């Protein structure tokens, strides 16, 4: 739809109208630009194989991977510093060199508030949880009356999440470059997410 309306490919539109105005100059899609290659993390799997089922192996998948048609959903590559700039935009917190007028050029507060309205309850997905809904591109959580917004994602061995409270302008970001399929730590992952969310609890 973006391509049909604007005439720009989706990733070019995002680069020009989100990444560039927010100063996210180390964010990109798909293959790593040459000037960032030395800083690009590899992603890893921990897996068992039939040759040595009792000894998990660490598999280096390299830096880049082909997200295919899921690029709009999971092909954004960025350092944590660019994620900080993005969450600052979402929370309307000014970082050095940024203005609220610039934020409004990217997307108005009214549009963000519309995106943050609870939509469908997330009761039957891998991210299912009580008191959690899907807005427009954002997860909407009700934490004892406190609205928390965010998103999670994974591609290849990479995993990440961010959550924020738009009222207090507080946010939390976590990124990982290894997925352990030999001994999935689902309970530990939920505990870690819960600990991150507790950091946003209002006094």
Sorted by where each begins, the domain ranges of the chain are 2-198
The token pair at 6 is 């604007």
For residue 53, the surrounding DSSP H or E stretch is none
- Distance (Å, whole) CA 120 – CA 34: 41
pLDDT band at 154 (very low <50, low <70, confident <90, very high): confident
Query: Per the confidence metrics, is the pTM higher than 0.75?
Result: yes
Alpha helices in 53-149 (DSSP H): 71-74, 80-91, 100-106, 109-115
**CATH fold group of domain 2-198:** Beta-lactamase (3.40.710)
Tell me the mean pLDDT in the region 164-176: 96
Q: Looking at the predicted structure, is the pLDDT value of residue 1 above 70?
A: yes
């Amino acid at each position: 739809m973006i391509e049909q309306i604007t005439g720009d490919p989706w990733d070019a539109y995002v680069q020009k109208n989100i990444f560039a105005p927010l100063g996210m100059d180390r964010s990109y899609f798909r293959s790593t630009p040459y000037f960032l290659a030395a800083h690009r993390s590899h992603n890893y799997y921990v897996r068992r194989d039939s040759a040595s089922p009792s000894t998990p192996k660490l598999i280096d998948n390299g830096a880049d991977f082909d997200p295919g048609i899921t690029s709009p959903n999971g092909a954004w590559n960025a350092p944590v510093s660019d994620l900080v700039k993005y969450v600052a935009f979402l929370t309307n917190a000014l970082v050095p060199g940024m203005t609220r007028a610039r934020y409004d050029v990217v997307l108005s507060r009214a549009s963000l508030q519309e995106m943050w309205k609870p939509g469908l309850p997330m009761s039957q997905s891998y991210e299912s949880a009580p008191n959690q809904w899907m807005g427009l591109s954002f997860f909407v959580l009700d934490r004892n009356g406190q609205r928390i917004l965010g998103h999670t994602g994974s591609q290849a061995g990479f995993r990440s999440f961010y959550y924020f409270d738009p009222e207090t302008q507080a946010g939390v970001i976590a990124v990982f470059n290894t997925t352990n399929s030999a001994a999935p730590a689902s309970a530990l992952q939920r505990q870690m997410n819960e600990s991150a969310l507790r950091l946003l609890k209002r006094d």
